Amino acid sequence: MNKKDKVDVYTTKSDRVGFIGLLETFLRTFRTLSFIILLIPVIALGCFIIGLAFTPSVLLFNFLYELSINMPLVMRALILGMGIASGYLVYGVSIIFTVPFFNFIFPFKVRPWRGPWQSIQTIPWYIHNALTQIVRYTFLDLVTPTPLNVLFYKMMGMKVGKGCIINTTNISDPCLITLEDKVTIGGSVTIFAHYGQKGYLIIEPVTIKKGANIGLKCSIMGNVVVGENVNVPPHAVLLPKTRIPDNGKFEDAVII
């Protein structure tokens, strides 16, 4: 980037006009306050989504509660305990479908972008990841790896080819990640299509091509392309702008 193209990431002014410009100026001028204000509707949305997903579970528990009201104590405790356990599983299946629905209807989509953290473009990115993490931290680990977790990531916008295995929930920005056919993502792999650098947030896609294997506990950052049939060894770290050629080795990786 040329000197004249550099952006002051600590500026309180926005280069946008109208209401959007005023909003962005507010975000940058009152950083802590604006974060709290924007966080309130996100928390409210999360509570609504979780509550909606729990509704079938509550109905099931209420049915069992009424059914067992005249039963002996031990039998009733067993039935209600099974109701709680079954209700959690019902919630899990429900949340896997509920969250992608709200992600889909959200009017502002995540796009590749580079700029200061306190910018309008970071808001849909933040919400997309907040929704993803609701499922991750409340249920997804229990169904990984299964077709259910693959289905969830597909519904969140991840492009997933045929025969893929995803044995991790450490994934952010699924809408910007592409897995081609027969890709294997090993246990506890971390993939995120963004990174922070010197006050910037950079949002860039990740592509893992056909037949690639990502080893246990690897970390893959934004703007990475893994070529076809590449085996990335366990615990490897692929930094932003890393490229591994088709049919190459991890040692062939270059940063462009």
Rounded to whole angstroms, the Cα distance separating 200 from 138 reads 30
**Pair 88, 143: CB distance under 8 Å:** no
Residue-level pLDDT at 5: 58
Quote the mean pLDDT of the chain.
93
Label residue 6 by pLDDT band (50, 70, 90): low
State the Cα angle at 80 between 77 and 85, rounded to 5°: 120
DSSP-derived 3-state class of residue 91: helix
- The residue with greater pLDDT, 3 or 124, is 124
pLDDT digits (tens, 9 = 90+) for 48-102: 999 999 999 999 999 999 999 999 999 999 999 999 999 999 999 999 999 999 9
Q: Does the pLDDT at position 31 exceed 60?
A: yes
**Pair 245, 252: CB distance under 8 Å:** yes
- Joined tokens for residue 90: 């019902």
Q: Looking at the whole model, is its pTM more than 0.95?
A: no
Label residue 192 by pLDDT band (50, 70, 90): very high
DSSP-derived 3-state class of residue 132: helix
- Joined tokens for residue 78: 């067993």
The distance of Cα 178 from the centroid of its chain, to the nearest Å, equals 13
Burial class (CB in 10 A: 0-12, 13-18, 19+), 33: exposed
- The residue with greater pLDDT, 5 or 136, is 136
- Joined tokens for residue 149: 């977790």
What are the chain's domains? 33-255 (2.160.10.10)
Residue-level pLDDT at 117: 86
Phi/psi zone of residue 213: left (φ > 0), alpha (ψ -120 to 50 degrees), beta?
beta
pLDDT digits (tens, 9 = 90+) for 51-66: 999 999 999 999 999 9
